[in-house]
A = this chain, B = another copy of it.
Amino acid sequence: MIGSDPIHCSVLAIDQATLDPAAALTFVSDPAFGGLDLFVGKVRSHNQGREVVGVSYDIHRSLALTVFRQFADEVRGQFGPRIKLYVAHACGRLGIGEIAVVVAAGTPHRDQAFGACRALIEAVKHRAPIWKQEHFADGDSAWSEGCALCGEEPGQKMSDPC
């Protein structure tokens, strides 16, 4: 089925490139695959009742690329080996409706594609070194509360929205 690398991981500076769902679908396609699932995360206009005008993403790029591949390997172990996976995350400031993240999975049958795509975006959301700063219509900005990565020390967790 697969000759080249079945996993694509990237972090894209938004001033240099845009995330491309079509490229993700092409990457996870294969003559043997009948099911592709794609998730697109976009910046939305409201969060917890406040009007948002943009979001800035801060990313530890080298570590993010490393853990994206680790996540994909985990997902491949669970839903593969006949699978192709794609993860791309934007870095920088995005406006409303712009794409922050694209994740895709291609598999022979749809159940694995849905499961793998979901597992991969959950890992990216909860465990990747990425930070979101929301810019509000009133001029205020705030770093979102997030998921602590030092989970092996439960006493050190903040109240956790994960």
A residues at B contact (CB < 8 Å): 21-22, 25, 29, 31-46, 96-97, 108, 110, 113-114, 117-118, 121
Neighbouring B residues of A25 by C-beta, 8 Å: 21, 40
B96 touches A31 (CB 8 A): yes
How far is A137 from B101 in the complex, measured between Cα atoms in Å? 40
B44 touches A33 (CB 8 A): yes
Neighbouring B residues of A21 by C-beta, 8 Å: 21-22, 25, 38
Given known contacts A22-B21, A25-B21, A113 and B39 CB-to-CB distance under 8 angstroms: yes
A43 touches B34 (CB 8 A): yes
How many Å from the CB of A109 to the closest CB on chain B?
Answer: 9
